[in-house]
Amino acid sequence: MRAVLLGLGAVGLSLLTLLERTDSPCVPGLNIDIAGVADSSGYLVGKQVIGVHDLVKAKRESSLSFLPGFIEGGRARELIETAEADVVVDCLPTDYSDCSESRECMFTSLKAGRHYVTASKAVMALHMKEALEKAEGNGVLLKFGATVGGGTPFIDFGSRCICPGTVTSLRGVLNGTSNYILTRMAEGLTMQEALSEARQRGIAEADPSNDLSGRDSAAKIVILANWLCGTSLTLHQVRTRGIETLSSGEISEAGRRGKVIKLIASYRSVATVSPEEIDINDRINVSGSLNALSYFTGSGDSFTLSGEGAGGESTARAVLRDLAAVHLEAGPRRTH
């Protein structure tokens, strides 16, 4: 399967590193060849397969511009239109104020009859209904398991392990950065101390505003509710309050009552994100950067899944899982 890779940040570079390893978790018969790659400086396209080792080495040591055939300043859309590929993989940075590049790339790919695998939460939270309709209309697959939960398959679990169409509500901890900060504050750190530590450990980004404001969690609950509950929400419809104003005193007071404060994303007729006190025995009470999600069905059943929710490699594994799904569901199809 020939793939175009957009974005060589933490997720994109981690994906290439996984492909470089012989023990990558792939299905039998799945071979992923890189037909083109784009980053913020331009793109590289080749009629022959581009060596993964060369890409990783060039990106880590200098830039892609030193590789033969690199187009300085070239746009990702141009790469999609030029490269001979079966699937486009979107690992572009998430930008909730302007996801126009991801949207342009996604719709260009779908219109051209190429499958699309994305890790971009913003484009799915803002344009999910339109994108799914476009993919179906063009007979291609749109996979977005990497947008929620990193390496923990919250989307696949809900759609494959629970009877389809039966999930009516959702409730969970969906942001690893804010959960790590709240966990450490409960252990005595201030918010700034916890944030600084999270940055040092690679859990928090340089600009953590999307995590602390609840915007990241809001995007994830939109994607989950739309896919599992059949809604047509967009990011702007989520009632969102973050953790920025929480004090250490509030965290301590909750602890004295046998409670913990978590940033809870939920859907039950309406979607909300806000800090809430929950019991310490609640199934979604996970610590550190872990995520947890409870699924509730119309028949009264409930299921909870938890796992690692932050980090470039865990998200890259989810992308790889989606690529394997494309391979299995679409078969050996060539676009060109």
Strands 259-268 and 167-173: what pairing?
antiparallel
Residue whose entry in the numeric block shows the structure tokens 């793109």: 43
Q: Is 10 annotated as a binding residue?
A: yes
Whole-angstrom distance, CA of residue 65 vs CA of residue 63: 5
Do the Cβ atoms of 282 and 292 come closer than 8 Å?
A: no
For residue 220, indicate whether it is catalytic: yes
Whole-angstrom distance, CA of residue 152 vs CA of residue 171: 16
Whole-angstrom distance, CA of residue 38 vs CA of residue 41: 8
65 DSSP assignment: G
Q: Is 121 annotated as a binding residue?
A: yes
Whole-angstrom distance, CA of residue 270 vs CA of residue 170: 10
From the candidates 59, 134, 143, 220, give the one annotated as an active-site residue: 220
Radius of gyration of the chain (CA): 20
Q: Is 139 annotated as a binding residue?
A: no
Q: Is 265 annotated as a binding residue?
A: no
Q: Is 9 annotated as a binding residue?
A: yes
Q: Is 11 annotated as a binding residue?
A: yes
Pair of tokens at residue 336: 């060109």
Do the Cβ atoms of 30 and 2 come closer than 8 Å?
A: no
Among 73, 82, 128, smallest CA distance to 106 is for: 128
The annotation places the binding site for L-homoserine at 205
The annotation places the binding site for NADP(+) at 7-12
The annotation places the binding site at 7-12, 121, 205
Catalytic residues, by residue number, are 220
